[in-house]
Structure 1
Amino acid sequence: MEEEEEEVTDLKLQLFHNTVREHIIFLLLIILLYFSSYVVVSRFRRRDRDDLYSNDEDEVLVYRISFWLCTFTLAVAEGAAMLLPVSIASNEVLLLYPNSYYVKWLNSSLIQGLWNHVFLFSNLSLFVFLPFVYLFSESTGFVGHKKGILARVYETFTVFILMAIIVLVLTAVLSAVFGIEKFQFFWFLNLGSVHLPFLYSCVSFLGVMLMLICTPYGFVRLFGVVNQVLVRPMLLRDVNEEFSAFYMEEASVKRKLAYIDLHNVSISDAKRGSRFTNGNGRTHSYLPQPLLQHSLAHLYQRKSLVGNVDEQHQLLNERLKELYSERKELDKLRKSSTFQRTFVYPLAMLLLLFCTAVTILLVVQNTLELLIGIKALPLSTRQFTLGISSLSKLGPVGAAMEVCLIFYLGATSVVGFYSMPFMNNVRPKRRQTSLPQLMLNCGFMLVLSSALPLLSRIIGITNFDLLGDFGAIEWLGNFQIVLLYNLVFGTTTALCLANKFTATVRRELRARLTALFLLA
C-alpha cells in the first residue's frame, strides 16, 4: 500500500516538474521571440512622430502600449512560422538520440502545448490586441468627459465591445449557414470552443488563398532579389576599363551641365543688369545701349543654336543619375572578392532553382496521390506521438530538406506579397513606417505565418500532422478544396517560372519577326 502511494506521489511530482519545465521553456521562447520582433519593429518605425516626442504623457503612453502590442503580434507571427519546422526537427532529434539525457525535456506534451499556445495567442492578437490597439490610438474620449487616459480607455472598450458583438453575430450566422453548429439558446457561451476557432479558420482560409497568389509570384521575384543583392560573375568583362569609361563620361556630363548653368546665368544677368536706378530716381544703363543690344542678341543666338536649354538640362541630369548608379555597381564589382563572384552567386541561383524544382515536384506528387487515394487529407484525426518514426522517406536528410522548403515557402510568400502593386503604400520602410502601418503589417505577417503550416501540409511538403486546433480546421477535410488548391498552385508556379526564364527569348523572337514583316 505504501509502495503504491509512493508511486502515485512520484508520478505527481514528475508531472509537476514537467509542467513547470514546459512553462519555463514557453516563457523563454516568448522572451526570445519578443526581443527579435522588437529589433525588427524598431528598425522600421518612424522616429520623428509627434506623439513619440510629445509633451503629453497620455500620448506617449498610448504610443508605447500600441508599440508593445504590435511587437507581441509580430512575435506570435514568428512563432507560428516556426511551428512546423521545430516540430519536424524535434521528431528527428528524438529518433536520433532516444535515450539522451539532454533531450528528455523534448516530448509530445511540449510540442502539443506549443501549438496550443500559438493558436491561442494568434486568436488574441488578431481579434483582440490589434483591434484594441487601433481603436486605442485613434480614441480621444467621450464628449463631455474629462480628457485623459481613462476616458480614452472607456471609449476604446465601448467601441470594441460593439464591434465584438457584431462580429460574434456574423460568425454565428456563418456557422449556421455552413451547418457547422446547430442553433442553441446559449450559443454565445461557446465563444472559445466554437466561434473563435471558426472565425480563425475563415481567416486562415483567406491567408492560404493569399499565399496562393503571392507565393508563385515570390518564386520569380526572389531571383531578382538575389540578383540585386549578390555580385554577378564577370565573364569576358574588363571592369576597370568600364569604370574609367563611365568616370570620363560622368565628368563630361558635369562639364556640360556647368556650361548650361553658366549660360543661363549670363542671360539673366544681361537682362537684369541692363538698367539701374540711381539715388536721384533716374534710370541708367550698366552698358551702352548698342553694346547691350549686341550682347543680348549674341546670347539669344547661342541659345537658339543650342536648342531647348531646360530640356537638355533635364536629360543631362537623368543621364548623370544613370551613370552614377552604373559606376556604383561597377565599383561594387571591383571591390568584391573572386570567391564571391565565382562561387556565391552561382551557388545561390542553383539553390533557388533546386528548391523551386523540388517544391513543384512535391506538389505534383501530392496531387497524383490525392487523385489515386494514397494520400490522406491534411485534417488531423489522430493523436500524434513524437519520436516514434520518421515522417520522411529519406530520414534526417529528408526532414532537413522539408524544414528548408518550409522556410523557403515563407520567404517567397513574404517577398511576393510585398512585391504586389497594391502594397506600395503599405510596404514598411526603414525608419519611415507610421504606427498604423506597423499595425497593418504585423497583422498581415500574422495571417501569412499562421497559414504557412496549412500551406505546407496542403501541398505535401511534409506529412507531419497539424497539431492542436490547427488540425481541426474544417475546410482541411474537403477533398475538392485541397485538390483544386494543389492543381492551381502547381500550374501557377510553373507558368510564372516559364514566363520568367523565357521572357528574353520571346522578346528577341518578337523583335526579329517584327523586323522581318516590316522589311517584307
Structure 2
Amino acid sequence: IFLLLFLVLYFLSYAIIDRFRRKDWEDYFSTDEDEVTVYKISLYLCVFSLSVAICAALLLPISIISNEILHLYPKSYYVKWLNHSLIQGIWNLVFLFSNVSLFAFLPFAYLFTESEGFIGYRKGVKSRVIETVTVFSLLAAVVLGLTCVISAMIGNNASRYQSLNDLGNYYLPFLYSCMSFLGVLMLLICTPLGFIRLFGVVSRSLVKPQFLQNINEEYSLALMEEEVLQRRLKNTMLSGECYIRPKPMTPVYTNTEDADLLTLQNGALLTNLTEKLAQVTQRRKQLQDQKDTSSFQRNVVYPTAMLLLLAVTVITVFLVLLNTLQLLIGIKALPSSTTDFTLGLTSLSKLGTVGAAFEVVVIIYLAVTSCVGLYTMPGMSSLRPKVYKTSLPSLIANSAVLLILSSAIPLLSRTLGITNFDLLGDFAKIEWLGNFQVVMLYNFFFAGVSTLCLVKKLTAPVCKELITR
C-alpha cells in the first residue's frame, strides 16, 4: 500500500513539474551528457520532495476519512487493510521523508546543478559530485552549529547538555521543529492573504452576472485592441523601422504599458509587441468563451461559488475563535497533549460523518488558500512558477517552500482547533505545540488578521464607490 501511494504521488508530482519546467535547449536538451545526467538526478530529487509535500498536505484529510470509514464499517471485509498501524506508518514516513527532503535532497539537488567541479579535477559528473558533497558537508556543519547554539539559548537546562550522540534523537527533531514553526508563521500570513486572493481568482474564472460585468463591451474592447496590435506589428515588420512612428508630440507622463511601449525601439519593440499581442489574444479568447456561456452559469454558478467561499471562510474564522475561547476556559487541551488514540473507535466530530466531512473541506481549503496567498506575498512573485518557463533551480526553491508549508498544515489545523484528530508519530513531539502562550497568540493573530482581511474584502467595493461619488 505504501508503494502504491508513493507511485501515485510521484507520477502526480512529475506531471506537475513537467507542466512548469523549461523544455528548451538551454535547460534540458543539452548536447553535454554530463549536464543531462545532473539535470535528471536533480529533477528526480525535486519530484520526490514535491510528492512528500503533497502527502504531508493530505495527511489529516486521509486520516479523518479513514477514521470515519472504520467507524461506520468496523467489520467490513473490504476495509480490513485500513487500520491504525497503516495510518501511523504513513505519518512516520512523511515525517522522515520531510526531514530527508528538506535537509538533504533539495540542498543537494540545488548544489549539484550549480556545481562545476574543483579546479584540477577532470570535468565530469564525478568531480561535480565531489564538489557538491564537500559544499553540502560544510553547509550541514554550519546549520548543525547554529542549531546547537539556538537549542542552548532557548532550551531548558537538560537540552544544553545534549551530546553529539543525540544528533538523531534531539538536534534533528529540534531543527525540524524550528522549520515547522517557520512554516506555521508563513501560514499565518499566507492563509489570510489567500482568503482575499481566492475571491479574485474565482471572480476572474467564472462569468459574472450581467449587472456586475458587461461582457459584450469587454469583448469588443479586447477585439479592437488585438486588431490595433496586429496592424502595428505588421507595419513594423514590413517597413523594417523598429520604432513607433509618428513619435509622440507630448511627453509621456502615464505609467501604462502602452506609454512604455512608445519609448521602445529595435528588437525590444518587436518582442514587447509580440508578447502583448499574445496576452491580448488570450484575453480575447477567454472573453469569447465567457460570452458563449449560458445564463445559468452567469446567474447561478457565480453567486453560488462566491457564497460558498464566503461561508467556508466565515465558518473557519468562527472555529478559530471558538477554539481560542475553549483554550482560555480550559475545556480543550493543547495540541501536544495527545491521549491513547485508536483509529475507528469514535467519530472525531459531534456532528458525526457530516462534521468530519466539513473538517476535511476546511483543511483542504486552508491548504489551497495558503498556496494561493504564498505567491501574493511581497517578494514571492518572482518565485511564482510559469508554465514551460520555470528553470530547475526555481523548481527546487518552490518545492522547498511548498514542503515547509505543507508539513505545517497538520500543525496549523490542530493548533487552530479545526479538527480533534491527534497528531501521530513525531509530529506530536514538536516542542512549541505544548507552549500555551504561543498557541494562544497564534489563535488570536490568525483570527484577527483573517477577520480584518475578510472585512476589507467585503467593504472595499462599497468604500470605493462612496469615494467615487
* C-alpha separation in 2, matches of 1:244 and 1:200: 51
Alpha-carbon offset, residue 170 of structure 1: 1.8
Matches within 5 A, 1:47-58: 47-58=23-34
Matched, 1:134 2:110: yes
Give the equivalent residue in structure 2 for 1:427: 384
Corresponding residue number in structure 1 for 2:125: 149
Answering whether residue 18 of structure 2 is matched by residue 42 of structure 1, we say yes
State whether residues 68 and 344 of structure 2, in contact with CA within 8 Å, keep that contact through their aligned partners in structure 1: yes
Q: Is 1:214 the counterpart of 2:190 in the alignment?
A: yes
Give the aligned partner of residue 118 of structure 1: 94
Find the counterpart in structure 2 of residue 27 from structure 1. 3
Report which stretch shifted further, 143-152 or 485-494. Answer: 143-152
Of 71-80 and 230-239, more deviation after overlay is shown by: 230-239
Relative to structure 2, which stretch is displaced further, 443-452 or 188-197? 188-197
Q: In 2 relative to 1, CA 317–54 (structure 1 residues): closer, same or farther, beyond 3 Å?
A: closer
Task: Give distance in 1, aligned partners of 2:223 and 2:60.
Answer: 56
**8 A Cα contact 1:119 1:470, kept in partner:** yes
Structure 1 residue 229 and structure 2 residue 183: aligned? no
Q: How many residues align?
A: 444
* AA matched with 2:75: N
Is 2:328 the counterpart of 1:352?
A: no
- Report the counterpart of residue 189 of structure 1 in structure 2: 165
- 2:115–2:132 CA contact under 8 A, matched in 1: yes
2:117/2:131 contact within 8 Å kept = yes
8 Å contact kept, 2:21–2:395:
yes
Whole-angstrom distance in 2 between the partners of 1:323 and 1:140: 42
Unmatched 5+ stretches in structure 2 = 263-275
Indicate which of 158, 161, 171 corresponds to 2:147: 171
1:175, distance to aligned residue in structure 2 (A): 1.8
Verify the 8 A CA contact 1:92 1:399 in the aligned structure 2. Answer: yes
Structure 2 letter corresponding to 1:225: V
Corresponding residue for residue 383 of structure 1? 340
* Whole-angstrom distance in 2 between the partners of 1:323 and 1:141: 46
**Bigger Cα displacement from structure 2, 163-172 vs 387-396:** 163-172
- C-alpha contact (below 8 Å) 2:148/2:171 kept by paired residues: yes
- Which of 400, 419, 431 is the equivalent residue of 2:357? 400
Partner residue, 2:138: 162
| Separation in structure 2 between the aligned mates of residue 47 and residue 65 of structure 1, nearest angstrom | 16
Describe the shift of the 1:151–1:506 C-alpha distance in structure 2 as closer, same or farther (beyond 3 A): same
Alignment partner of 2:460 out of 490, 503, 517: 503
Question: Partner letter of residue 435 of structure 1?
Answer: L
Residue pair 1:253, 1:316 contacting (<8 A) in 2 also: no
Determine which structure has more spread, i.e. the larger CA radius of gyration.
Answer: 1
Give the residue type in structure 2 aligned to 1:407.
I
Instruction: Tell whether the 8 Å contact from 2:27 to 2:391 is kept in structure 1 after alignment.
Output: no
Counterparts of 2:338 and 2:283, CA distance in 1: 58
The Cα of 1:432 is off from its aligned counterpart by: 0.4
TM-score by length of structure 2 reads 0.87
Whole-angstrom distance in 2 between the partners of 1:502 and 1:222? 16
SS at match of 1:421: coil
Alignment pair present for 1:411 and 2:365: no
Percent of residue pairs identical: 56
Cα distance in 2 for residues equivalent to 1:326 and 1:73? 35
Counterpart of 1:53, as a letter, is: F
Q: CA deviation at 1:236?
A: 9.0
Q: CA RMSD in A?
A: 3.1
Moved over 3 A (4+): 180-185, 235-240, 242-258, 306-318, 320-330
Question: In 1, Cα distance between the equivalents of 2:249 and 2:143?
Answer: 66
TM-aligned CA distance change 1:178 to 1:497, over 3 Å: same
Distance 1:457 1:252, change over 3 A: closer
The whole-number CA distance in structure 2 between the counterparts of 1:207 and 1:357 is 23
Contact 2:219–2:287 (CA<8 Å) still a contact in 1?
A: no
The superposition leaves residues 131-154 of structure 1 with CA deviations (integer Å, 9 ceiling, x where unpaired) of: 111111111222212222111111
State how far apart, in whole Å, the 1-side matches of 2:145 and 2:115 are: 25
List gaps (5 residues or longer) in structure 1.
1-24, 269-302, 513-520
- Post-superposition offset of 1:183: 4.4
Distance 1:331 1:191, change over 3 A: same
In 2, distance between residues paired with 1:126 and 1:215?
Answer: 22
Alignment map for 1:58-457 (pairs within 5 Å): 58-180=34-156, 181-184=158-161, 187-235=163-211, 242=217, 246=221, 328=285, 330-457=287-414
Letter in 2 for 1:464: F
Q: Give the direction of change, closer, same or farther, for the CA distance of 1:414–1:247 in structure 2 (3 Å limit).
A: closer
Change (3 A) 1:310 1:453: closer
The CA distance in 2 between the partners of 1:68 and 1:401, in whole Å, is 35
Contact 1:216 1:492 in 2 (8 A): yes
User: Which stretch shifts more, 69-78 or 189-198?
Assistant: 189-198
**What is the Cα deviation at residue 350 of structure 1?**
1.3
